[in-house]
Structure 1
Amino acid sequence: METTRDGGWKQGCLAEGTRIGPWRVVRWHGQGAHGVLYQAVQVRSPWPSPVALKLALAPEDPRFAREVTLLTRLRHPCLPRLLGHGHWRHPAGTHHPFIALEWVEGTSLYDWARERNPSSRQVLLLFAQLTRALQAIHRAHAVHRDVKGGNILVRASDDRPVLTDFGSGDYQGSERLTWRSMPPFTRAYRSPEASRFAFRFIHEPESHYVARPSDDLFSLGVTAYRLLTGRYPPTQLPSAEAPTWNPADEGPWSLRSLNPRMASALEALVLRMLSPLPEARGTAQELAEALELAAARAGAEAELPLFEPSRLPQERPSLFRQASAWALGLRSVTSLAVGLLLLWLGQTVSQRANVSLLRRLAPADAGARDAGSVAVGDTSLTAPSASHLAPSSEVIALDLPPTPLPGQSVPDTNGRCLRRGQVAINGGCWIKFALDDEACAENADTTYVHKGRCYAPAFPPRRQPTSTQGPNVSP
């Protein structure tokens, strides 16, 4: 077991039989940026049932305490039950928090859709259960902040969806843990209002976005859109002023054009979740009631399987070699976490990007992982057979927008950027970083991919702010 300077370990792989509190490790099951997931059993139980045991990579990681506090406030059949928590003493003397959760035997949402080819009525009922789970979260004055297909497991025994991975969750009154402007969203699922905030305050790090229940509902809408069409909707905004895509518009991205087999009631409710106006999405309770009513009233069209056998939704080809390695079934993959990316913020603040890459080698029996996970990785709570695993990639590398971002530096009349190290692309000035596609897409809210290279927008000098923009929250 190789140990890092901060007391964590590079592989994060404990041997079978290792005791962690009252549990015994059975096998490694997954790893994220901050923790490792094991299947474990209770030591003294005569009929031990498996539990999902999450162990922090870093000593005394405060994220785990916040997750425990959040989970203790939640009770719902579509949310994982907290079974215990504590600290495990590393042989080096450091103490690492752990969390034990109920083990969910099932498969991820998108894989379930490909295997089952559900009807519109089945999808309406499934999303009604998920919105009831969000209702329980929001009633506790909390937000999940990472709702997506990879964090939803469909239990094999009863087809009940379970929303997992609360490592990114937050609740009212929690302590702030990071100093980033944006919460740890998976960018493809980020709401328009969050995107507008990111673009508007991109060069004001003292500003902080407050994630709200409406953000969770929008992310659920993106999840439904992708399940129904096999694609992500073009939800990212190229400017702070207005979106380029309205979900209600007819066109090549409309739900009906991509999947005419879905019931009209299902389409209408997905469009409601994807509304650019947060208030138009309603509350989780209102949305759940609408989904349940639509499932009860839908006619024969709601019984039609959503996909023709020859056109079952497939994962979009990954942009990243690591995701391709999983799809090919390679036995060894690399997990990447980018520590900190500092952008050049103008003539008086010209910091170079400082990126720390920590690569961890997964053991040979590694299962599928969620490539876009921003937390510990509860997606590994599922335990299907190897033949059922179809790895999905939640990471989206955004192309450079066709026009400059608001306030972005632009080239002079000769097409040259004034600052050294900046390049002119699409009418704006950009800074190029030596990051691969996955690092560029997964670890920065303001980076883009262009011809296989990673870029961030350059901004001119700004005046010293006289007041803080945005509320001070824990992203």
Structure 2
Amino acid sequence: MDALSPEALPSGTLIGSWVVEGCAGYGTYGVVYRAHREGHTEPVALKLARHPNDERFAREAELLTRIQHPGVPRFLDGGTWTGGRTRDKYPYLVMQWVEGLRLYAWANQHPLVSPQVPRVLAQVARALEATHACQGLHRDVKGDNILVTPSGRAFLMDFGCGTWAGAASLTDGILAPGTKLYRSPQALRFQWKHRRAPTAHYPATPADDVYALGVTAYHLCTGIYPPLATAPSILEDDARDTQEALVPPGRLTPLRPELEALILRMLSDHPQDRGNAAELAAAMEALVATTEPEPGPPVSQSLPTVPSEDTGPPAPLPHSSGRWPFVLFPLAAVLLIFISGSLNIEGARYPPSGMSDGGTGGVADAAVADIPASSEPKDAEPNRLSLDIPQEPLPGQRRPPCLRSQSNIRGGCWMELKAAPPCEEGSYAWKEACYSPVLAPPRPSTSDRP
């Protein structure tokens, strides 16, 4: 057994007093196994380091021990496993097993008007409150690190990037490990300002966790990300006037004004205006208390093999998470064709896409200018539908920098097709040619996923 790789332990492997049942997931620094104690059947989550002598595990264990909150997995045990070809020591942690759906997958099974949305956000805020109360930081709050059980209870997971006041720094870079889409404006500006000072280190604060919770809430309610907090490589002077405007989430999907106000508060450019986790949790709980639940037919909830705790009633019907343009727009276009027999739609607009899950460039990436729009009028063709490229990138579309084979048009990346207008369904017209939108590449995980 000692020659086994920590990334591929078979069922039955013994680690300390814990018996491995199977792999539950991989992260940047660790592998999570479902396991149980010898002589028992209750499952636990065993997180084993992928690299020997990884000091992050001792820091994560200490932070989990300090928090002690029902919305954070309980720390049960820890130690080292000797294995691999060189018989190195790999640290491991044993935690409470929490079974549920990751937040954004959970959202696809619940209507946005449901009081469960602010309730789940309030539970995450309470977990953050407990983290900050012991002078700790999570530093990687995002949908992938939040699990919701079948009964609707939220857990803040994966404290592998976390730290606490006085803990030794384990990061050589300017920013601690995390996910760029959730970085605060202060973190990104600091990174740009000190890009030539390799010893500089950004001092994260609870306000950074709150901002990340705001990004999470925005994506939860709209299905898209807000614009990147700042792009100092373009601004340099930290100005905001040339930044892509943040579209209030209520303009993208129906939301209660109170919930929209809380999301925008967490996304404030000024840390002092965001409020602390306790204040935000109380405000969300008050919102839940004034929201009447809406009954709906149940649907089955398929659960992934990730850490487990309890079971509950089935969830309501899924919602589309802000992706309705792809369905309604083609149907409306076909209907208009039958009604009028001749239609030329100019300047069709979609809601701004913000930042998609992938395609994020570095802070110092060069900006790519948009291709100017043609000022020449276009002649309408009888009995044909001509859809122009939208004024804004589509949700999920790749943004510049585009590949050499792609064209940057109106802030999005497009692939030219070997066809002339009228274009086929799913493609758009631009300057006597048809183009297909390029999807953003998937963003690799930047942290463990228990």
Decide which structure has the larger Cα Rg and report it. Answer: 2
Contact 2:137 2:164 in 1 (8 A): yes
Measured after TM superposition, the shift of residue 244 of structure 1 is: 5.1
Q: Does 1:40 align with 2:35?
A: yes
Query: How far, CA to CA, are the matches of 2:58 and 2:92 in structure 1?
Result: 9
- 1:22 & 1:93 partners in 2: Cα distance? 19
> Is residue 231 of structure 2 the alignment partner of residue 238 of structure 1?
yes
- Displacement after TM superposition at 1:31 (Å): 1.4
Aligned to 1:133: 127
Count of paired positions = 323
Amino acid at match of 1:398: G
What's the CA shift for 1:231?
0.4
Question: Residue in 1 aligned with 2:146?
Answer: 152
Structure 1 23/313 Cα, relative in aligned 2: closer, same or farther at 3 Å? farther
Counterpart of 1:201 in structure 2: which amino acid? H
Contact 1:222 1:233 in 2 (8 A): yes
Which of 54, 74, 95 does residue 67 from structure 2 map onto? Answer: 74
Does residue 257 (structure 1) correspond to residue 246 (structure 2)? The answer is no
Matched with 2:310 is none
The answer to whether the Cα contact below 8 Å between 1:186 and 1:394 also exists between their aligned partners in 2 is no
Change (3 A) 1:315 1:203: farther
TM-score, length-scaled by structure 2: 0.65
The one of 75, 84, 109 aligned to 1:115: 109
Deviation of 1:117 after TM superposition, in Å, equals 2.4
Q: Which residue of 1 aligns with 2:320?
A: 311
- What residue in structure 1 maps to residue 180 of structure 2? 187
Name the residue aligned to 2:196.
203
Deviation, 1:290, is: 1.3
Q: Which residue type is aligned with residue 452 of structure 1? A: L
Which whole-Å CA distance do the structure 2 matches of 1:293 and 1:197 have between them? 36
Structure 1 400/132 Cα, relative in aligned 2: closer, same or farther at 3 Å?
A: closer
Q: Secondary structure at the match of 1:294?
A: helix
* Structure 1 residues 304 and 213: alpha-carbon distance in aligned structure 2, compared to 1, 3 A threshold: farther
SS at match of 1:203: coil
Distance 2:325 2:49 in 1: 32
Q: Label 1:120 to 1:278 Cα distance change in 2 as closer, same or farther (>3 A).
A: farther
CA contact (8 A) 1:237 1:244 kept: no
Paired residue type of 2:162: G
Q: Percent identical across equivalent pairs?
A: 40
1:451 aligns with 2:406: no
1:104 and 2:67 are equivalent in the alignment = no
C-alpha displacement of 1:227? 0.8
- CA-to-aligned-CA distance 1:193-217 (integer Å, 9 cap, x gap): 1111112111211211011100001
Judging changes above 3 Å, is the alpha-carbon distance between structure 1 residues 403 and 93 closer, same or farther for their aligned structure 2 residues? closer
1:17 to 9, 12, 20: 12
Report deviation, 1:15. 1.2
**Any unmatched runs of 5+ in structure 2?**
297-315, 327-355, 371-398, 405-450
Q: 2:204 is matched by which residue type in structure 1? A: A
| CA offset digits 1:116-158 (Å, max 9, x no partner) | 22425221111111111100000010100000000000012x2
Q: Does 1:398 align with 2:391?
A: no
* 1:95 shift after superposition: 1.2
What is the CA distance between 1:315 and its match in structure 2?
12
Please give the secondary structure, in 1, of the residue aligned with 2:240.
coil
Say which SS state the counterpart of residue 86 (structure 1) adopts. strand
TM superposition shift of 1:236: 3.4
Q: Which amino acid aligns with 2:320?
A: R
Tell me the alpha carbon deviations over residues 415-452 of structure 1, each in whole angstroms, 9 at most, x when there is no partner: xxxxxxxxxx669xxxxxxxxxxxxxxxxxxxx96223
**Partner secondary structure for residue 311 of structure 1:** coil
SS at structure 1 position matched to 2:109: helix
CA contact (8 A) 1:108 1:154 kept: yes
Task: Report the RMSD for the aligned CA atoms in angstroms.
Answer: 3.2
SS at 2:167 equivalent: coil
- Conserved? CA contact 1:19–1:25, under 8 Å: yes
Structure 1 letter corresponding to 2:175: M
- Letter matched to residue 35 of structure 1: G
Aligned to 2:115, the other structure's residue is in SS state helix
Unpaired runs of at least 5, structure 1: 318-392, 405-424, 428-447, 454-475
2:163 corresponds to 1:212: no
What's 2:79 paired with?
86
2:273 to 270, 280, 283: 280
CA distance in 2, matches of 1:255, 1:308: 22
1:39 shift after superposition: 0.5
CA–CA separation in structure 2 for the residues paired with 1:400 and 1:145: 19
Could you list the per-position Cα deviations for residues 304-336 of structure 1 after superposition, in whole angstroms to 9, with x for gaps in the alignment? 99x99773456999xxxxxxxxxxxxxxxxxxx
TM-score by length of 1: 0.62
Report the CA distance shift for 1:120/1:193 in structure 2 as closer, same or farther (over 3 A): farther
Cα distance change of structure 1 residues 86 and 237 upon mapping to structure 2, 3 Å threshold: same
